[in-house]
Amino acid sequence: MRSQQFSEWVFVFLLVGIAVFSGIVFAMMTHVSRKESLRTGEKWMLAAIILGIVAAVVIGAMQMLAGYLF
């Protein structure tokens, strides 16, 4: 039971980290003082980061459901 609680807190920490990281990515995408729009490479990079965030949440949730977070 103790290891399950530990896994739940690790998952919460994962979600908090993802929320902070997503905020940074969102701020980068919508920065108001940018004079030019995002270049193609920056768009691909941000899309890859967003897909990585989604993959991290899905993998973490699947491991939580299986009972192993590591």
**Residue for token digits 């729009």?**
37
If residue 8 lies in a helix (H) or strand (E), which one and from where to where? helix 2-29
Give burial (CB, 10 Å; 0-12/13-18/19+) of 25.
middle
Cβ atoms 11, 69 nearer than 8 A = yes
In the predicted structure, residue 69 carries a pLDDT above the cut 80:
no
pTM for the model: 0.64
Provide the mean pLDDT of the chain.
79
| pLDDT band with cut points at 50, 70 and 90 for residue 30 | confident
Please report, as a single letter, which amino acid is at residue 7: S
Helix or strand or coil: residue 37?
coil
